[in-house]
Structure 1
């Protein structure tokens, strides 16, 4: 292939980076994906420590990935991952109350992060013109006259080099150095907002028995203000992947007895029953998430052409709400739509488009975080009113299958939040929530 043909570089080969490469391959003859990790083996990569914990691919994200990679769901299933229906084949507890079992039209793909990523990586590198380079780190941007023209990289045992590119996309995640890179080349860096939650995870795997959870394949106990939470899903290999979590320093232990005891303090016994009956297959491993971070690239007055940030580099969400992969997929689809109209003013157009999706997920997740009295942040009357309303929606969803379906479709980023604010739905939630008490904290 002609080395002078248009070239795009993606920094980071996680979910966001791979989806970006797949989109870019439709418009650039050459796409290079740079990754500082190596992909030897099937375990979680060193650079993705959260890959050892539960990952929820919402139906909104799965549908987009299937659109970009037709047949991928079936391929992941063929590799061993089960699927289930959100409220029919698994259990969801909201504010300690189980959402009423019902059909929702929402598919849950129960795959571990390493499996999903490996299948997506295979799809990406099979595309003509896509190259993946391992064990190479990006250290900065190359610019000319205010336009980004490449990326500075280094690899062990090799001299630093500059890789020329018409477009550089940063998908390095929440540890992104994009703001610093932009400042170094004299460009404007984005405003940043953070919401500190001090979330702690602990995860391990267990051997599954068919009778566990009455044969269902998953249970999610939402971590709410004053409540510990967790999840257990059946992944490839017919094993339980169990994650426990707590906010504001209330982190689950990583020893066997402590992990089991923490599970006993959840508001419902489902996960504790699994971990006390099943054979452990791994030791508990920890992960800590300091807080959500949003970079407001869409507010920059003058963008440097030739560079965009995508995925967690743009906005990193509280993982409790499982929004990250889905919002990254939404951003990849936004990039695709923008590229179909050319590359002129691409950053400004992309950030404006992507912000529509980021805004929705950010309001949902940070609003829920601020329902926890220990989380620092400004609680507007609107946030207080919405949080009170959402709690009523949790109560109503416990007894009303129609409302349970509506709520889960919004939570899965399939239907817009406004769906819950339709007059008939509001009236139904307020009516059905009466007389239903939440479990004691």
Structure 2
């Protein structure tokens, strides 16, 4: 049972505020874990962090720090953050998000200093790779935010990502154009979304069950097609061309920032635009007001003339197209060809980003970037020869997801009509 804090109303009546102790509890667990690194397995030597890459306007010198000293400094800062969070909980106040962000940065810095002792960590490569890995998660999270803002729970994000990757691989292979693959990925994501809308909106089927069934259906269909069709005709059907990296003039030469944000593929730039447009449209446009209205109070929206069913269908289809773009990232950017179950459950992490981001497109994007960073750490540490067990690093993204959603999300409220079919009386 979650710990609770007690606040006092002006009339003297005590009110129980749930969840305030979750944040200091989770921060305390991570503080102990960081401290155990240096206590159980102290590292000798310096940790070197490289900040520049070829093509930068100017070179930033490498930074070398004693590994053990950095870890102990990180433990001290984490202890202070945990103590402050506990004091806030005791006083009946929420811990500010900035506190959690500072804690996360310091804890990660301490862990990386311990992991790369005696070696050199390419920081720019780590962050640029994290952004690239987060692209499908961001598109999936944006699709999840739109669907749930309209009142439809989208558990089928993973199916939309996988079917998008499948459609992109075939279309790009047949036409020789990655742009055709991108369009096919959007159509594939919309097809899964159409099935979701048909059962969830029209026939009032339990939305969580529909989403899980659609994920299983897509996995089964794509696995069958891969083994029976794509594997037999790999050169013609599973050999898609890839989007090249585009370097933005001037911006790509800025040290640290340029290689991370402005030496990417077109799908990353499309992600920037999508995040901005969805965030703006959801809160600043008439369309966004209608979407949020049918997700919060569909009967009231219907009363003022909004077609609830049509609005939900259009929003769910748009969400499916956006998730399909995320699926295209796998076969048009990341890997040479489509593979069986290649998303690896990324849709569920994207769904966690929706919850962690409290159904807000900007916050969900930041959560997806966090999970992308956790995924890329394993790859980078393996390349530089870190002694961290690979099995631990492979499970790191999922551990971070669980802790983030269960411990750091705090009190959050989904749209009031989320998951509830609308029955017009």
Structure 1 length-normalised TM = 0.25
Q: Which structure shows the higher strand fraction? A: 1
More helix by share: 2
Rg: which structure is higher? 2
TM-score, normalised via structure 2 length = 0.26
